[in-house]
Amino acid sequence: MILEWVRIHEIAFWWIGTLSMATFVGTLIIIPILIVRIPADYFMREKQKPDRSHRQYSFIRILGLVLKNLLGLIFIIAGLAMLFLPGQGFITILIGIMMLNFPGKHKMERRMVQQPTVLRAINWIRAKTDRPELQVPELSLIEGGDKRR
């Protein structure tokens, strides 16, 4: 019964396998390129304020924003799959989030990169290309840190 079902859907399995392999190989190439492009102080900066010079949204700017967000969403979906398949799942999700635009993004990015295993993996990739380690704020167990100091 199961073997018959697999034979019927053989083409779908080939497509899924090919897409999975292409995603895996693609992220092995793209993720390191994106990681080394992150400025070393990116996570130390305060929340990015929108650039007022782009107040009027042209069609090209809106299209670029939509495409960037779609690419970020693809990275997140691929990263989620890589949590169960071979690949750099958590780092791929982080890159995807960095490409999206939504409220609270900067705070979420910081929390993700403050995880020791994630930071160690990112800095290992950066070290291979002689890039400085990422600077990240200390992980605070209490939201907002201790304000009495």
Residues 30-58: tens digit of each pLDDT = 888 989 999 999 888 877 666 655 566 78
C-beta contacts of 117-121 below 8 A and 24+ residues apart: 117/90, 118/90, 118/91, 118/94, 121/88, 121/91
Helix axes 10-37, 89-99, angle to 10 degrees: 70
Instruction: Assess if residue 49 is contained within a domain.
Output: no
Local confidence band at 84 (pLDDT 50, 70, 90 cut-offs): confident
Instruction: Assess if residue 38 is contained within a domain.
Output: yes
Instruction: Assess if residue 143 is contained within a domain.
Output: no
Give the Å distances, CA to CA, from 51 to 41, 56, 100.
Answer: 19, 11, 16
pLDDT score for 51? 60
Query: Quick check: pTM over 0.85?
Result: no
Q: Is the pLDDT of residue 14 over 80?
A: yes
Instruction: Assess if residue 66 is contained within a domain.
Output: yes
Distance CA 101, CA 76 (A): 13
pLDDT score for 4? 83
